[in-house]
Structure 1
Amino acid sequence: MSRVDGDAVAVAPGRRRVLDTVASLPAWAAVLLVWTGGRLLSTLWLALAYPLVGRALPENAIWGNGDGFGAFLTAWDGQYYEQISLHGYPTALPVDAAGNVAQNAWAFLPAFPFTIRMLTASTGVPFTIGAPIVALVAGLVAAFLLHRLVRDRAGHAAAMWAVFFFTCGPLSFLLQVGYAESMFLALSFGALLALERRRYGLLTLLGVVAAFTRPGALAIPLVLGVVALIRWVRARRSDGRVLDTFPLREQVRVVAAGLAMGAAGLAWPVIASHVTGMPNAYLETEMSWWVNFIGRVDFVPMTPWFLIASRWLGVGGVLIVLFLLVGYPVWLLRRSTLRLGQTTVLYSAAYALYVFAVSLPMASTPRLLMPLAPLFGSPELVARPWMRRTFVTAALAGQPVLVAVLWLLGPP
């Protein structure tokens, strides 16, 4: 981690010794060391926040007013995962006094809580222990896969910086609480690696499970489709040169994988409607979380960010959204970012498009952006000492702030 692109970086002797020690370890040991340090740091901040539960945590954060540390680690959305793990999904949607669909478990996908159910059923541990265990293990797997994904294109040093920001950053405490983020990240990074290695069976398996873990997995078959299109064009250049091979058998496997993952990504709203007997059950459930921010509105894709920006910031807010829409693609197309590889860049574009198209910016938005973690390995971000210092400071100082603001005071 003390060298990027083969150029020596001037660092203080103490930091150099630490960086050289990490760099001298095998890749798996270095990742494990950084991940362990991150988890100890997150545990410290969560433990310091825990005594404030009675005075600061809203009543709806932990159902039943449970005051154990395990309940604290499975607060907020973790309560819905516990409900699903123990009781499954409701067949009738709850409604408010006006007859509108209220917040309920159908907003949360089943892979994570059902995995915890298998663990608790086989070992007897309660959900409040099983959920953090599953999140911890999945987070470690995600860190290893993230390192491999970045290392294959940008090198070991960039990959270790990406792992550091991922496992020690402001939102890294979510890798050990009762949320599905860790599992979704491990599945997504694994699917991207499988795509790069053209292991379509494994890609399909991981992509389908990811589709039932968290929303946003449709970005994976979209990337597969774009990659396949590029290969198909390169294999059929009009000038007769063959820049890539794309045999028919592989084309069939790609189409089958894309169709399977696409179907899985679209299946949950259909399942929710079938079980509850209510059309748009899933959409109405998701929209129930928007009420406190913008009231009840009709869902129109590609408009939520403009809607809330104009509501809270007026014309200035709309201009900020437009700047992001232009600036983000421009940054993705920079030579430094492109060094992360075609798959990572395309996924970063596709997943960001999903977040922009269907989600409302709120406290949970930073959490939704965690799958973009490979971008932290961009040589442009980690090659400059001042940039690294800025990110390290933000990571270490930001986590206690977000633990207090997002986990103790309001839902992340």
Structure 2
Amino acid sequence: MEVDVEAAVAAAFRDERAQVVATLIRLTGDWDLAEECAQDAFAAALETWRRDGVPRRPGAWLTMVARNRALDRLRREAVGAAKLQEVIVMRRSEGAPEPDFADDSGIEDDRLRLVFTCCHPALALEARVALTLRTLAGLTTGEIARAFLVPEATMAQRIVRAKRKIRNAGIPFRIPPAHLLPERVTGVLAVVYLLFNEGYSATEGADLVRTGLCAEAIRLGRSLADLMPDEPEALGLLALMLLHDARSAGRTEDGELVTMEHQDRTRWDAAQIEEAEALVERALRRGRPGPYQIQAAIAACHATASTWDDTDWPQIAALYGELARVAPSPVVELNRAVAIGMAEGPAAGLARLAETEGALKDSHLLHATRAEFLRSLGREAEADAAFAQALALVANDQERRHLERRRTNRSM
């Protein structure tokens, strides 16, 4: 039977890339070298597997090829004692298909173990999250930059500085023991959250939803909740992702974006919503509310409303007010303005929106929200200009088409 080699390489990239990169980082201590040689190994697989067939253990084959590429690079570049020592280390590893990743962390999930390893507390929180998303999750620098609301060049520099700090300070790439996991959990939660966000609302490209990223984030969230059943924010994050994912089937129709107001709620996953509600209640009973739990409570308000008109907007606005207190951010303020506009009227929403415009001036969501408020107030010329600004900034094709329809006052 003929094997689709391209599909096999794509599957290996999805399933094995993080482990291959992590192995090379552990062997060499050089993050850039690890990523480059892993990429070379996948390119080599396309050619070699067509000729020789897909190996029985693709991950081991890729690791061996990537390690050999790294060894060759280090041999060519060895100019001093430090580089020569790296070559010695690499030579010692020859003949072993994979290094020993045995640990006493108690983490059973391989991918989650790598995320904990990457989220080293010696790095600033944003740096460790960005580096993990780039290295292990495979998000582009542009996608990560949009998640943090900074220019792509700025994020690229932050990632470079984080790698440089790891190298210069000799920060080890080791799986932390169980007693050190709590100091890394904040970064791990942020990685899973941002991975899901990029999957649920892709910042660019043709598809609104990247189902593979959503599924992987939820899988990691379940593993994290199982690992830390008494950590309320882990429960809150899992609930939040399940609540959003439960509405996925209603978000598009005939390939076009459908806003929540117009979604067919019978297509929402009722069993998943019920599971998430139980998780929210379980988390809140611990008496330590945090940003993921509050966001889950907001999502539950939306998911449990029988119709759009039954949505408890005053409660949602109040919850966003609490979220702004514990985890202030421009995006939280944007969503708070929407909730206030729905609860108190468009004038109130527009006034609140004005308070966060500076930080989100390059976000299409800000201008689209302002356009809707202005239209509700009958200020059509200003609304049209705001829609034009939003369209100039949006990068996702489905969102662009939706904004074009809204601009011409066609709902969906």
Same fold (TM over 0.5): no
TM-score by length of 2: 0.27
Larger Rg: 2
In the superposition, the TM-score normalised over structure 1's length comes to 0.27
